[in-house]
Each structure stands twice: as C-alpha cells, then as structure tokens.
Chains A and B, each alone.
Chain A
C-alpha cells in the first residue's frame, strides 16, 4: 500500500495522559499536514511541514501539542496532558510539492479522552 498511513487508528486515553500519533506520508511527498476533525465539522488545519521544517502552526495548536518530522520522512504529533476537548479525529495528509496541490489523506487516528 503506497498511501498515507497513520498509527494507531484508534486511541482511548484518560484525561491528563500524553498521547503520540504517527503519520507516514507517501514516500516521494515532501509536504506533510496535520488536521483535526471534530464531529459534524470539516477538518481544521493544525500544522504543516516541508521536508523536516515545520513552517506553519495554527492557533488551534496549543502549547500542549507538538509535532515533529525528523529527516523529512514520517511525522509524529504529541498531545500532552490531554483534555476531553482534544477528542477528535486527527488526520494527516501529504502532497508532492509546488504545483502539485492535491493533498492525500491517511485514514486518521480517532482519539477519545475519557
């Protein structure tokens, strides 16, 4: 399978715990995006990487959130001290780069904070 993959697909955690999600983009894609989707809404942008550089962060990304993309390959999104409001689907997408605008999404990680 050469699409975007995400792990885990589902995560249930207790409030206050830390969680980490992983995204593996399509191999030749140098741009990687994280989005968050809550029930009944479209995805909302969280952050963007070009290769290993994190170039943009949304105001939605509080200081409890951190994302990395070491070596410009896979990316991780960590949420510290989770809150119930963090419950959502976390989607990762990748794109090839300039002039190739299509973003291809992974299956998402559904986070439930109890």
Chain B
C-alpha cells in the first residue's frame, strides 16, 4: 500500500498568490513525522518543513505552513505569496517510529509560478 500519496502531478499559481499542495499518508504507527522537500531543477532536495505526529500546532517556516489534519491523515503544504523561485518539484515524505528513520517519499508535485 502506498504510504504517501500526492495526487497533483502539476500545479500552477500566479506570483504573489497562495497555493496548497496536497499530501495524504498511511501509517498505523502512532509516532511518525511528515516532511516537505523542494527539489529545483538542479536536483538537490531542500528541507522545507517538518510536522511530528504529536505536535499540537501546525508547523510554520516563513512562507511555508503545514496544514496537518491527523484524523484525515493529510499534511498539505501551503506556500503563501508565491515567488518565481518557488517553481520546482515538491515532495512529501514520512518517517515512522522513533528509532530508525528512513523517509518514504511521494511521487511529487511540480509547481510552476507564473509572473
């Protein structure tokens, strides 16, 4: 069963507008964490934001916020005030448990920001 599902292969947004990238996950472990990474065309994976399953508040990092809905098993990334430099692939990922911490990634969403 797919652990991380990103249903949007591509998204378009105009500069300065907000955009939401969807991510749903599947786990039976009560302790887990959710990540979002950005991958520009250069290939490097850039860490954006992290949400732990026990965190009471939604994570925020600058223009990035994570809309964590535990009961729905969703962890959507919200980018406010989009910039041209936000154009990239975005991957949602999950770690399970508290020991070994491999990440399981979704298939990604390509975001294009237009002027």
Contacts and interface: CB of A to CB of B under 8 A. Distances in A.
B69 to A, nearest CB: 20
A26 to B, nearest CB: 12
B44 A101 contact: no
A105 interface: yes
B50 interface: yes
B102 A43 contact: no
Interface in B41-66: 42-47, 50, 52
A106 interface: yes
Residue among B4, B45, B47, B98 with the highest chain A CB neighbour number at 10 A:
B45
Interface string A89-107: 1010101001001111111
A68 to B, nearest CB: 18
Given A40-B107, A42-B91, A42-B106, A101 B45 contact: no
Residue among B35, B43, B50, B52 with the highest chain A CB neighbour number at 10 A:
B43
Contacts of A45: 102-104
Interface string B29-45: 00001010100001111
A91 to B, nearest CB: 6
Q: Could you tell me the dominant secondary structure of chain A's interface residues?
A: strand
A89 B45 CA distance: 11
Chain A interface category by residue count: 20 to 34
Given A42-B93, A108-B43, A108-B44, 12 more contacts: A41-B107, A41-B108, A44-B105, A45-B102, A93-B45, A98-B98, A101-B35, A101-B52, A102-B50, A105-B47, A108-B45, A110-B43
Interface of B: 4, 33, 35, 37, 42-47, 50, 52, 91, 93, 95, 98, 100-108
Give 10 nearest A-B pairs by CB, closest first.
Answer: A42-B105, A105-B45, A45-B102, A107-B44, A108-B43, A42-B91, A101-B33, A43-B105, A102-B47, A42-B106
